[in-house]
């Protein structure tokens, strides 16, 4: 799909970060845009539309981690336009923390937002696109954290791996069913200067527990500080939207943005097929060797996320 003018784009998490960049690109291509965001970010969506130069723009407030809220979004779009041509599952959250101390509610928050929302929307949107029979696209923002793992962010890695697997399975299913009008892509970036480090400002009430000592602990405060640091020192966001749209136009499924993480992906894949064991020390040695063979500089640190 390379012609977008006049077509309908639905973008979640649209008010900032990648979402705002995708809105800009859709607007530049003359698309009619339905921008979706949670209550905490909803008020500024109209301002975002003006900044992005969108000619036709609608804003829908929704918590995409709830199925009934995703139904509301799809119903709004179909009532207004009767079609969906491009759907971007972009909304996402992230926290640092370990398996033994992170509250269960935070694991659910990750899975509901980063993974279940993709299920909810694709279950509803794909049948619509199949019935349309016209060229359509779905972009799921999955993160390179869906292709590799290290320490520090188990809830995030788990949710993003699930999102990647879901997208891959859906691509296989569409091929098996002979559906050739829908192109699925996954965007798997590393650290970029988005607003992912401000996930706490978007925490829905059902995941809040202000009396839980965990949220006053030094460990939690450190996790917020680490997330802030890696996002603020990530790659600039300028150019990301154009890069992703061009990749979609080329029909790419995997859209990576940080080649320095490719040695990590390859090293961990080698561990799988050679019955290896997860080891930070062993991984570092393998990554350095693969990076040297590839002639690129390998990523350092604990890993990388959207």
Is 215 labeled as catalytic in the residue annotation?
A: no
Q: Where are the beta strands (DSSP E) in the chain?
A: 8-12, 32-37, 56-61, 86-89, 136-141, 182-188, 254-256
183 bridge partner residues:
137
**170 is written with which tokens?**
């859906």
Q: Which residue has the tokens 């929704």?
A: 62
In the sheet with 86-89, reading across from the earlier edge strand, the strands are: 56-61, 32-37, 8-12, 86-89, 136-141, 182-188, 254-256
Task: Classify 168 in phi/psi space as left (phi over 0), alpha (psi -120 to 50) or beta.
Answer: alpha
Pairing outcome for strands 182-188 and 136-141: parallel
d(CA 172, CA 119): 15
Which of 104, 91, 93, 110 has the alpha carbon at shortest distance from 197?
A: 93
Catalytic annotation, pick one of 4, 115, 156, 157: 156
Contact 166, 118 (CB under 8 A): yes
Just list the catalytic residues.
156
């Amino acid at each position: 799909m390379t012609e977008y003018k006049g077509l309908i784009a639905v973008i979640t998490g649209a008010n900032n970060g990648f979402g705002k960049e995708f809105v800009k690109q859709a607007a530049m291509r003359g698309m009619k845009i339905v921008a979706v965001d949670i209550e905490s970010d909803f008020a500024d969506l109209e301002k975002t539309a003006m900044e992005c130069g969108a000619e036709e723009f609608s804003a829908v407030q929704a918590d995409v981690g709830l199925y009934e809220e995703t139904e509301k979004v799809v119903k709004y779009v179909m009532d207004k336009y009767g079609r969906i041509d491009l759907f971007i599952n972009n909304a996402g959250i992230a926290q640092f923390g370990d398996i033994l101390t992170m509250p269960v509610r935070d694991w659910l928050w990750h899975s509901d937002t980063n993974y279940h929302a993709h299920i909810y929307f694709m279950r509803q949107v794909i049948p619509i696109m199949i019935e349309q029979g016209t060229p359509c696209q779905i972009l799921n923002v999955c993160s390179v954290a869906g292709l590799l793992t290290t320490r520090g962010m188990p809830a995030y890695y788990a949710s993003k791996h699930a999102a990647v697997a879901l997208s891959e399975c859906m691509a296989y299913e569409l091929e098996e069913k002979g559906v050739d009008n829908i192109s699925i892509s996954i965007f798997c970036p590393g650290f970029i200067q988005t607003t992912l480090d401000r996930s706490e400002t978007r925490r829905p009430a059902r995941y809040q527990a202000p009396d839980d000592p965990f949220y006053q602990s030094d460990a939690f405060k450190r996790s917020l500080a680490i997330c802030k640091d890696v996002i603020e020192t990530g790659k600039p966001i300028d150019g990301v939207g154009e890069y992703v749209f061009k990749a979609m136009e080329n029909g790419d499924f995997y859209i990576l943005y940080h080649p320095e993480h490719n040695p990590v992906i390859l090293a961990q894949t080698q561990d799988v097929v050679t019955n290896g064991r997860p080891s930070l020390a062993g991984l570092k040695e393998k990554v350095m060797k693969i990076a040297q063979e590839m002639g690129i500089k390998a990523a350092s640190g604990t890993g990388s996320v959207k």
